[in-house]
Chain A
Amino acid sequence: MGENKDVWVFSEKYDLTLEIIGKGREIANTLHTELAAVLVGSGVEKKADELIKYGADRVYLVDHPALEHFQSEAYLSVLHSLAIKYKPDILLIGSTKNGKPLAARLATRLETGCIPDCTELSVDEKGRLIGERITYGGNAVAKIIFRSKPQIATIPARVFKKLKLQDRNGEVIKLDVKIEEPKTEVVETKPLETSSINIEEANVIISCGRGLEKKEDKALLEQLANIVNGQVGNSRPLAEDRKWFTEWVGLSGHKVKPKLYIACGISGVIQHVAGIRDAKIIVAINSDPEAPIFEVADYGVVGDLYEILPALTEALKKRFQ
């Protein structure tokens, strides 16, 4: 076990790779080891220098036409070969819909543990990685350690910040590895109509839940959002049950951290609350005085969102004048 060394970072998403390098750099410094980024794809060699400038000491580069798009078995075989050859101590993988299954399969192939969706990472006095994650539907934060190596953790987008681009030097190691044949075939890809701006970045979010009667009524929220430079969101039932939207705020959707979150007609089930826990101020508007959202709100208004929202929009407009 003693021979494993270095901190590795991988994500098939470039931005997420940079974010994880940001945290990985800190952990590698604490452990006095090196930070390596694994760069996989086709025609991606030119990105290697940039990964070093963002904080990596070394880049393992596997560039092959068969790796142009993410493919589970292909990417898995590449990471597995590298991990067997170089034995990383810690492997941080981007927690995307493709990256998390990849991490799980890699951990299984290497007969090691995995901590998914870490919201914080640290190192204890023995140099062991501690991963923190939200569990029990947002009711708790668990701290987890490893009894095996490499220590694999997955990191969601926008949890950590990328570092500033610096003038640094590092080593690029280009490798040829055997790529496993795919077992599945992607026959069609359709872009998902996502909002142009990431809701995770928003300073103010006005969000609606089951209390919204029609999809079009989201305009009420948009009017308020326009006044305060905010963005509009919604809870899961409006996406999954009513199919009005494709995304939602919550533990299983977007986890947000605005300065202000206004929950309109949202009852406040814990999965939703877990997704807004990092908001500085939470305002709840709900016609049901018993709604659990009031328990986690800074300001609560018992009332009809169809009356309160336009009145609040007007009141704010007046204050801005």
Chain B
Amino acid sequence: MKRIIVCLKQAVDVTQLKVDPATSQLLTASAPKKISDFDKNALEEAIRIKEKNGETEIFTVTVCSEDAKPVLREALAMGADKAYFVNDHTLQNVDTWATAYVLAEAIKKIGSFDLVLCGEASLDSFSGLVGSRLAELLDLPQINSVRKISVEADVVTAERTLEDAYETVKSKMPALITVTREINQPRIPSLMMIMKASKKEIVTWTVADLNIQKEKIDAKNEVIEVLAPKTERKKIMITGENTKEIAEKLAKALFQEGIIRR
């Protein structure tokens, strides 16, 4: 029996995020939450590996100060077998260091595994550090930015996209892989799968359950300001009797801006 651990973040749905126009502050507290997109790709990939290779169990691990159970139910409905949820109010201002540290301790408590899958970055903070930090803390080989995975015996082969090349990388398992969004299209669970998921287990732990010393998860970074950038665009709509007139008006405007030359 193989075991795949998928790290899932409950992220702010950035497409539904509102900004307070007076202060330029983001209204993150009231924004809807969901499984971070890239992490969903990681989960989908784990399910596909299970479908192909059989004899695999998929556990998800989530670290969050708020309730994330509805989001974890969705992961279970997609096909995860069990969800581990480190839920503790002390995790409110965690940074990538602390998140990775708690994830690592949770994974150690779960026990053995063959593969850890993470999204390349999270939808909201988009740091892209936690996967690599976790690999370091668990002393695992890591393959980043992966768009294709195949598993055979105790070896994983992964294709990754670099700035100027595709690379095929092999590693012995256990290993940690971060995936890009192009790796797959995550499934939408059927009603049947959603019903079945209600019987699956969500194991909830606190930081104390993991025997983590408090000072170990003090944040190493501190966010001192988050502000929406001021974008001042002209928002001039160009209209006209016909396409030709519109095009000529637009061409004239672009010339007057002094931004085009032959």
Residues of A within 8 A of B (CB): 13, 72, 96-98, 100-105, 107-109, 111-117, 130, 134-148, 157, 183-192, 194, 203-204, 227-229, 239-240, 246, 251-252, 259-260, 269-271, 277, 280-283, 294-303, 307-308, 311-312, 314-316, 318-320
Given contacts A139-B17, A315-B247, 5 further A-B contacts (CB under 8 A): A105-B133, A108-B137, A139-B228, A184-B169, A188-B167
**Contact at B163–A96, with CB atoms within 8 Å?**
yes
Q: Which residues on the B side are within 8 Å of A314 (C-beta)?
A: 244, 247
Interface stretch, picked from B2-10, B76-84, B142-150, B188-196, is B142-150
Within 132-186 of B, Cβ neighbours of A (below 8 Å) are at 132-133, 135-137, 140-145, 157, 160-172, 175, 178, 181-182
Within 8 Å by CB of A269, from B15, B168, B255, lies: B15
| Contact of A315 with B251 at beta-carbon distance under 8 Å, contacts A97-B145, A189-B166 already known | yes
**Contact at B126–A192, with CB atoms within 8 Å?**
no
**Contact at B143–A107, with CB atoms within 8 Å?**
no
Interface stretch, picked from B47-55, B59-67, B234-242, is B234-242
Q: Which residues on the A side are within 8 Å of B254 (C-beta)?
A: 260, 281, 283, 299, 316
Q: Which residues on the A side are within 8 Å of B166 (C-beta)?
A: 188-192
Q: Which residues on the A side are within 8 Å of B252 (C-beta)?
A: 319
**Contact at A315–B250, with CB atoms within 8 Å?**
yes
Within 8 Å by CB of B221, from A115, A134, A203, lies: A115
Within 8 Å by CB of A135, from B126, B157, B170, B239, lies: B126
| Contact of A311 with B243 at beta-carbon distance under 8 Å, contacts A140-B226, A143-B225, A296-B231 already known | yes
**Contact at B247–A312, with CB atoms within 8 Å?**
yes
Within 8 Å by CB of A142, from B133, B219, B225, B257, lies: B225
**Contact at A277–B221, with CB atoms within 8 Å?**
no
**Contact at A108–B164, with CB atoms within 8 Å?**
no
Within 8 Å by CB of B259, from A143, A191, A259, lies: A259
| B interface: dominant SS | mixed
Chain A CB within 8 A of B110 CB:
no
Q: Which residues on the B side are within 8 Å of A282 (C-beta)?
A: 233
**Contact at B262–A320, with CB atoms within 8 Å?**
yes
| Contact of A299 with B224 at beta-carbon distance under 8 Å, contacts A116-B128, A315-B250 already known | no
**Contact at A108–B235, with CB atoms within 8 Å?**
no
Within 8 Å by CB of B97, from A107, A246, A271, lies: A107
Q: Which residues on the B side are within 8 Å of A271 (C-beta)?
A: 14
Q: Which residues on the A side are within 8 Å of B224 (C-beta)?
A: 130, 143-145
Residues of B within 8 A of A (CB): 12, 14-15, 17, 19, 26, 28, 95-97, 100, 121, 123-133, 135-137, 140-145, 157, 160-172, 175, 178, 181-182, 218-229, 231, 233-239, 243-244, 246-248, 250-255, 257, 259-262
**Contact at B219–A144, with CB atoms within 8 Å?**
no
**Contact at A142–B223, with CB atoms within 8 Å?**
yes
Within 8 Å by CB of A139, from B14, B257, B259, lies: B14
Per the bound structure, the CA–CA distance linking A320 and B252 in Å amounts to 11
Per the bound structure, the CA–CA distance linking A114 and B175 in Å amounts to 23
Within 8 Å by CB of B226, from A135, A184, A269, A270, lies: A135
Within 8 Å by CB of A105, from B132, B168, B247, lies: B132
| Contact of A300 with B236 at beta-carbon distance under 8 Å, contacts A113-B97, A141-B227, A314-B247 already known | yes
Q: Which 9 A-B pairs have the closest CB atoms?
A: A137-B14, A113-B220, A311-B247, A183-B141, A104-B132, A113-B221, A315-B251, A108-B136, A101-B132
Q: Which residues on the A side are within 8 Å of B137 (C-beta)?
A: 108
**Contact at A100–B262, with CB atoms within 8 Å?**
no
Within 8 Å by CB of A137, from B17, B136, B225, lies: B17
**Contact at B132–A141, with CB atoms within 8 Å?**
no
Q: Which residues on the B side are within 8 Å of A252 (C-beta)?
A: 121, 181
The distance from the CB of A300 to the nearest CB of chain B, in whole angstroms, is: 5
The distance from the CB of B214 to the nearest CB of chain A, in whole angstroms, is: 15
Chain B residue at minimal CB-CB distance from A113: B220
**Contact at B261–A229, with CB atoms within 8 Å?**
yes
Q: List 9 A-B contacts (CB under 8 A).
A: A97-B145, A143-B226, A260-B257, A297-B233, A297-B235, A299-B237, A299-B254, A314-B247, A316-B254
The distance from the CB of B12 to the nearest CB of chain A, in whole angstroms, is: 7
**Contact at A147–B246, with CB atoms within 8 Å?**
no
Within 8 Å by CB of B260, from A113, A204, A301, lies: A204
**Contact at A114–B243, with CB atoms within 8 Å?**
no
Q: Which residues on the A side are within 8 Å of B229 (C-beta)?
A: 140-141, 277
